Amino acid sequence: MPRSNYGILAGCFALAILAAPVSAQNKTKTLSVAGNRMEIQVERLAGDKWVPVDPALIFDSGDRVRFRFRTNFDGYLYVTNISTSGSYTLLFPRPDTGEQNRIRAGTEYVVPETQARFRIAGPAGHETLYWIVSPTAWRSEDGGSHSGYIPLPPPPEQKATPPNMTPRCDDTVFRARGDCVDPTAGARELDVVPPNLAGIPAGKQDLMFLREENKAVIASPEPLRGPVVYEFLLAHK
């Protein structure tokens, strides 16, 4: 099929969405754990195959990536991005990456869920992806609940390019297995909340950030009481 190139960041592109003949079927599995748990797995396109990689891997410019996401609870998912050039963009849901953001317990989702993939580009540094997960439908101003897609607030006003340090390889990991990884990359607690996300009624909840093989695991000992926001740093040259 013809390949379409969608720029998802204004000005200097840091991630681009490329349409491609990729199967993105959802798979249902059982997650047995107390409390709530979310898993993120990064995959890189190698030839014509998607290969799971370390969440902290330092990607090359031009790499094609996608994410697998799974929880042990029903809810809603949003993913936004602040690039190394300072641009803010909604990555999911949107027409070219999939508009159905309802998630079901034990079901594995691919982001983007359409026949597309993200392309790494732009200045070296860390893409900051914000994952917003809500166990319940958000309430409208009139008190009603939304059963489908609920748009996020508009992006903040564009400001100067944020400081972004060049990713550094962990020498110990590189010597042990040959992978160039940045220990600061991957899922972690929020550093700074974008102004347009500050109004999300996120529940005050302690989250644990773990690593299981090539998966980033975000867990809460107790069931989530409301939306949670955390960030995923994607390092690239």
Instruction: Tell me how far apart the alpha carbons of residues 164 and 5 are, in angstroms, rounded to a whole number.
Output: 26
Q: Which amino acid is at 58?
A: I
Q: Write down the pLDDT at residue 156.
A: 64
Cis peptide bond prior to 155, omega within 30° of 0: no
Q: What would you report as the CA-atom Rg of the chain, rounded to the nearest whole angstrom?
A: 17
Q: Which residues pair with 76 in a beta bridge?
A: 102, 134
Instruction: Give yes or no for a contact between 29 and 54, defined as CB atoms under 8 angstroms apart.
Output: no
Q: What is the pLDDT of residue 38?
A: 97
Q: How far is CA 38 from CA 97, 135, 209, 222, in A?
A: 20, 11, 10, 13
Residue 203: the pLDDT is 56
- For 18-71, how does the pLDDT look when each residue is reduced to its tens digit (9 = 90+)? 544 333 344 544 444 568 999 999 999 999 999 999 999 999 999 999 999 999
Q: Are the CB atoms for 67 and 52 separated by under 8 Å?
A: no
Amino acid 175: pLDDT: 61
State residue 202's pLDDT score. Answer: 61
Per-residue pLDDT tens over the stretch 112-161: 988 888 999 888 999 999 999 988 866 544 444 444 555 676 666 655 55
pLDDT tens, position by position, 167-224:
888 778 766 677 899 999 999 998 777 777 777 766 567 899 999 989 999 999 888 8
pLDDT digits (tens, 9 = 90+) for 55-112: 999 999 999 999 999 999 999 999 998 887 777 888 998 888 888 889 999 999 999 9
- In eight-state DSSP terms, residue 181 is B
Q: What gap in Å lies between CA 220 and CA 204, rounded to an integer?
A: 11
The tokens describing 232, both together, are 């995923």
- Spatial separation of the C-alpha atoms in residues 69 and 109, rounded to whole Å: 5
pLDDT for the residue numbered 157: 65
Cα–chain center distance at 214: 15
